[in-house]
Amino acid sequence: MQLSNGIKIPSIGFGTALANKEPAITSVKKAISLGYRLIDTAAAYNNEECVGTAIKECSIDRKDLLITSKLWNDDHGYDSTLKALELTLKKLDFDYLDIYLIHWPNPLKFRAEGYEKRNAESWKAMEELYAAKKIRAIGVSNFMPHHLDALLKTATVQPMINQIRMHPGHAQKETVAYCKERNILIEAYSPLGGTGGDLLTKPLIQELSKKYQVSVSQLCIRWCLQMGIVPLPKSVNPIRIEENFNVFGFEINEEDMNALANMPDDAKGLPHPDEARF
Confirm or reject binding of residue 243 to ligand A2P (CB under 6 A). Answer: yes
- Candidates 126, 150, 236, 247; binder of ligand A2P (CB under 6 A) is 236
Within positions 162 to 201, which residues make up the interface with ligand A2P, using CB under 6 A? 190-195, 200
For residue 198, CA distances in Å to 17, 173, 195, 203, 259 come to 18, 21, 9, 11, 18
For residue 204, CA distances in Å to 48, 112, 165, 191, 249 come to 37, 42, 20, 16, 21
Distance, first Cα to last Cα, the chain: 33
Confirm or reject binding of residue 122 to ligand A2P (CB under 6 A). Answer: no
- Phi and psi for 98 in degrees, rounded to 5? -75, -50
| 45 catalytically annotated | yes
The alpha carbon dihedral of 223, 40, 141, 4 has a sign of negative
User: Coil, strand, or helix at residue 135?
Assistant: strand
- Rounded CA-CA distance 49/21 in Å is 9
**Nearer Cβ to ligand A2P, position 59 or 213?**
213
**Nearer Cβ to ligand A2P, position 194 or 273?**
194
| Min CB(65)–ligand A2P separation in Å | 19
**H runs (alpha helix) in the chain:** 21-34, 48-57, 78-92, 115-131, 145-154, 173-181, 203-212, 216-226, 238-245, 254-261
Within positions 7 to 36, which residues make up the interface with ligand A2P, using CB under 6 A? 15
- Candidates 13, 171, 217, 260; binder of ligand A2P (CB under 6 A) is 217
Confirm or reject binding of residue 70 to ligand A2P (CB under 6 A). Answer: no
Q: Which stretch binds ligand A2P (CB under 6 A): 46-54, 63-71, 229-237, 247-255?
A: 229-237
**Nearer Cβ to ligand A2P, position 52 or 194?**
194
Confirm or reject binding of residue 234 to ligand A2P (CB under 6 A). Answer: yes
- Rounded CA-CA distance 28/14 in Å is 8
Q: Which stretch binds ligand A2P (CB under 6 A): 37-45, 222-230, 234-242, 265-273?
A: 234-242
- The catalytic site residues sit at 45
Residues that bind ligand A2P (CB under 6 A): 15, 190-195, 200, 217, 233-237, 240, 243-244
